[in-house]
Amino acid sequence: MGAAAAAARGERAVADIQLLGSHEQIVLVQQFATDLGEGRTAELNPLLNSLRDSLRDELDAGRTMRRLVWLRIGRGPGEGRAQPESTEGTRLT
């Protein structure tokens, strides 16, 4: 996927959450979009946790552990590894 396609998917996701998300999710996605748009570090984990919890509630699956692990696959040495959620969460800059 190219950069333009990835950007379009991200924009659609932000729009969908603003239309269909809970109050908390709308606040979180707006903060994420504002931070990213202004060149600040953008916190994504609180939004993902809220979306996951909401989906699991709808499926009556119960809550699960809060710790997320992100898989990063790279091509060179040290570029690919599983990364547990840090105390700061996932940050995009």
For residue 38, the model assigns a pLDDT of 95
DSSP assignment letter at 84: E
The domains of the chain are located at 3-92
Is 20 or 90 the better-scoring residue by pLDDT? Answer: 20
How do residues 32-80 score in pLDDT, each as one tens digit? 999 999 999 998 889 999 999 999 999 999 888 767 777 777 766 655 5
Maximum alpha-carbon separation in the chain: 42
| Residue 75 C-alpha from the chain's centroid | 23
Instruction: For residue 15, give the amino acid letter.
Output: A
Is residue 6 predicted with pLDDT exceeding 70? Answer: yes
